[in-house]
Amino acid sequence: MAIDYQYPHAVLLIFCKTPLLGQVKTRLMSELNAEEALAAHLELSRRILRLATKNRLCPVELWCAPTLEHPFFAEAARTYGVRLCEQQGRDLGERMHYALIRALCRYRCAVLIGSDCPSLTEDDLEAAINALDKAADAVFSPAEDGGYVLVGLNRPQPELFAAMPWGTSAVMEVTRARLAALGERHVELKPQWDVDTAEDFARYRKLINASED
C-alpha cells in the first residue's frame, strides 16, 4: 500500500555505519568499552530512524557502509519502512555525492544526514525540504565543530564534495567559499551538534535524561 507522504517529491538519506564491534564510535572508547560504543551507535541510529519516519514526512533511505548485510539493517527496513542502499566511493565526499546523484534521479530534492545527530528535530528536516522548495540550490545545517550535519540539494553539485578536508573544522567554511564561487544560493539552518567524542555522548545522555523528567 502506498504511503501518503507530506513531501513525496523529497527523499531523506541517512548515512549509517554497519554496527560492527570495535569499528563504530571508536572515539567514544576513551570512556566506553567496545560493547558500550556499539550500543551507543545503535541507540543513536534507532533514534534518528524514529525521528525520520514517525510522521511520514517523506520517503527515507538508509545508506549503509561498508556493507548492508547485517541484521540491524534488515530490522530497520522492517520496523521503519526504509529502503536500504549501500554506500559507494573511496571517501566520504564520493559516497555522499554518489548517494545524492542516485536520489536526485528519482526525487526533486534530497536531504542527507548522519545517524548520530541528536539535536536534529523533525522541524529541521522539514525546514530543509522547504528551503529547497523555495528555490535554494542547497541547504545546510552547520555543526558546532565546523562541519555540517545536514546537506540538501535539488541538483547534483560534485564540487561541494571533492577534495574536501573532511573531519576538520574547515569543512563548512570551504563549502561556503565553493558555493559563492559557483554562484549557488544556499540556506543555512541553525547550528547543530553530533556525537563524536565521549564529551558529546555525555551531552546526549543529559539531553535524554532531561526529556524524560
Domain assignment of residue 5, yes or no:
no
Domain assignment of residue 1, yes or no:
no
Range of the domain at 108: 10-212
**pLDDT for res 71:** 97
**pLDDT for res 1:** 58
Q: Which is it for the CA torsion 79, 82, 83, 85, positive or negative?
A: negative
Q: What is the CATH number of the domain that holds 24?
A: 3.90.550.10
Across residues 204-212, what is the average pLDDT? 86
**pLDDT for res 2:** 72
pLDDT one-digit tens code per residue, 102-115 = 999 999 999 999 99
Nearest to 64 by CA among 129, 15, 131, 106: 15
| Nearest-angstrom CA–CA distance, 31 and 203 | 13
pLDDT one-digit tens code per residue, 114-149 = 999 999 999 999 999 999 999 899 999 999 999 999
Domain assignment of residue 201, yes or no:
yes
Cis peptide before 19 (omega within 30 of 0): no
Domain assignment of residue 3, yes or no:
no
Nearest to 135 by CA among 109, 102, 99: 109
**More confident position, 118 or 208:** 118
> Which three-class secondary structure state does DSSP give residue 123?
helix
Q: How far is the first Cα of the chain from the last one, in angstroms, to the nearest whole number?
A: 38
- Beta pairing partners, 156: none
| Nearest-angstrom CA–CA distance, 136 and 151 | 12
Read off the pLDDT band of 195 (50, 70, 90).
very high
**pLDDT for res 213:** 60
| Nearest-angstrom CA–CA distance, 86 and 63 | 5
Number of domains making up the chain: 1
C-alpha cell at position 20: 560492527
pLDDT one-digit tens code per residue, 65-97 = 999 999 999 999 999 999 999 999 999 999 999
Domain assignment of residue 44, yes or no:
yes
| Nearest-angstrom CA–CA distance, 107 and 206 | 37
Average pLDDT value for the chain: 96
Q: Is the pLDDT of residue 212 over 80?
A: no
Domain assignment of residue 67, yes or no:
yes
Q: Where are the beta strands (DSSP E) in the chain?
A: 10-17, 60-65, 83-86, 109-114, 138-142, 148-153, 186-188
